[in-house]
Structure 1
Amino acid sequence: MRAVGIIAEYNPFHNGHAFHIQEARKKSQAEVVIICMSGNFVQRGEPALVSKWQRANSALEHGADLVVEMPLTSALQAGDIFAQSGVAILSAMRCADLSFGVENGKAEDYLRAGRLLQKFDQKIAEEFSKEKMTNTSYAQQLSDLIEPVLRKENIALDHRQANSLLGMLYARENSKLTSPMGLVPVLRKKAQHAEISIDKAEQMASGTAIRQALLSQDRELQQAVKHVVPEEVYFSLHQSPYVDWEKAWPYLKYQLISQDTDQLRQIYQMTEGLENRLKKHIVNSSDFQDFMQTIKTKRYTWTRLQRLLCYTLLQLKEADVEQTITTVPRQIRLLGFTSRGREYLNHLNKNKIDMKIISNLKQSGQESFKMDIKAGNIYRLLADEKIPSQDFLKSPIIKK
Structure 2
Amino acid sequence: MIIGITAEWNPFHLGHAYMVEHLKREYPDARLLAVMSGPFVQRGEPALFDKWARASWAVQAGVDAVLELPGTAALQSADRFAESAVLHLHTLHCTHIAFGTESATVQELQEAARWAASDEYLSVLHSFLKQRLPYGQAMTATMRSRFPKLAEKLMLPNNLLGFRYASAIIRHKLPIQIIAIPRKTEGTVSATAIREQLLSGHFMEYLPDFVQQDVKCLLASRHYTDYKRYEEACLLRSRFLPLKALSDSGLFSEGLEHRWFSCMKSGNYENALLKIKNRRYPYRRLKRIGAALLLSQGQGPSPYASMHQPAFLRLLAMKKGAGCLLKDPRIPIIVSEARAERTLSPDIRTALLQECLAEDIFSFCQEEEGFRQAGMNYYHSPVIL
In structure 2, the partner of 1:227 is 205
- The answer to whether residue 345 in structure 2 is matched with residue 360 in structure 1 is no
Q: 188, 195, 210: which is aligned to 2:194?
A: 210
Instruction: Give SS of 1:61's match.
Output: helix
1:234-264: CA deviations, max 9, x gaps? 2322333322542212211211222211122
- The answer to whether residue 215 in structure 2 is matched with residue 237 in structure 1 is yes
- The answer to whether residue 304 in structure 2 is matched with residue 307 in structure 1 is no
In structure 1, the partner of 2:139 is 142
- The answer to whether residue 234 in structure 2 is matched with residue 258 in structure 1 is no
Number of aligned residue pairs: 370
- Write the letter of the residue equivalent to 2:111: R
More divergent stretch after superposition (290-299 vs 17-26)? 290-299
Structure 2 CA distance for aligned equivalents of residues 261 and 133 of structure 1: 26
In structure 1, the partner of 2:153 is 158
- Write the letter of the residue equivalent to 1:264: L
1:278-300: CA deviations, max 9, x gaps? 23222333x33323322222332
Structure 2 CA distance for aligned equivalents of residues 125 and 304 of structure 1: 25
Q: 360, 365, 371: which is aligned to 2:354?
A: 371
Structure 1 CA distance for aligned equivalents of residues 35 and 332 of structure 2: 15
Structure 1 CA distance for aligned equivalents of residues 67 and 124 of structure 2: 30
In structure 1, the partner of 2:166 is 171
1:333-373: CA deviations, max 9, x gaps? 1111102422322xxx2xx4422222111232532312211
Structure 2 CA distance for aligned equivalents of residues 100 and 89 of structure 1: 15
In structure 1, the partner of 2:378 is 392
- Write the letter of the residue equivalent to 2:197: A
Q: What pairs with 1:110-149 in structure 2 (closer than 5 Å)? A: 110-120=109-119, 123=122, 127=126, 130-134=129-133, 136=134, 138-149=135-146
- Write the letter of the residue equivalent to 1:88: L
Q: 366, 381, 384: which is aligned to 2:364?
A: 381
The 8 Å contact of residues 27 and 184 in structure 1, kept in 2 or not, is answered as no
Runs of 4+ in 1 over 6 A off after TM superposition: none
- The answer to whether residue 278 in structure 2 is matched with residue 297 in structure 1 is yes
Which segments of 5 or more consecutive residues in structure 2 lack a partner in the other structure? Answer: none
Structure 2 CA distance for aligned equivalents of residues 342 and 18 of structure 1: 22
In structure 2, the partner of 1:335 is 316
The 8 Å contact of residues 69 and 333 in structure 1, kept in 2 or not, is answered as yes
- Write the letter of the residue equivalent to 1:314: L
Instruction: Give SS of 1:132's match.
Output: coil
TM-score for both structures, normalised by structure 2: 0.87
Change (3 A) 1:129 1:181: same
Change (3 A) 1:391 1:50: same
Change (3 A) 1:164 1:244: farther
- Write the letter of the residue equivalent to 2:142: L
Identity of aligned residues (%): 27
Instruction: Give SS of 1:236's match.
Output: helix
Shift in Å at residue 320 of structure 1? 4.9
Change (3 A) 1:27 1:144: farther
Change (3 A) 1:276 1:10: same
Shift in Å at residue 125 of structure 1? 9.8
Q: What pairs with 1:71-82 in structure 2 (closer than 5 Å)? A: 71-82=70-81
Structure 1 CA distance for aligned equivalents of residues 244 and 91 of structure 2: 40
- Write the letter of the residue equivalent to 1:372: E
More divergent stretch after superposition (121-130 vs 251-260)? 121-130
Which segments of 5 or more consecutive residues in structure 1 lack a partner in the other structure? Answer: 192-201
Shift in Å at residue 165 of structure 1? 0.6
Structure 1 CA distance for aligned equivalents of residues 289 and 271 of structure 2: 16
Change (3 A) 1:43 1:93: same
The 8 Å contact of residues 360 and 395 in structure 1, kept in 2 or not, is answered as yes
Change (3 A) 1:333 1:261: same
More divergent stretch after superposition (19-28 vs 58-67)? 19-28
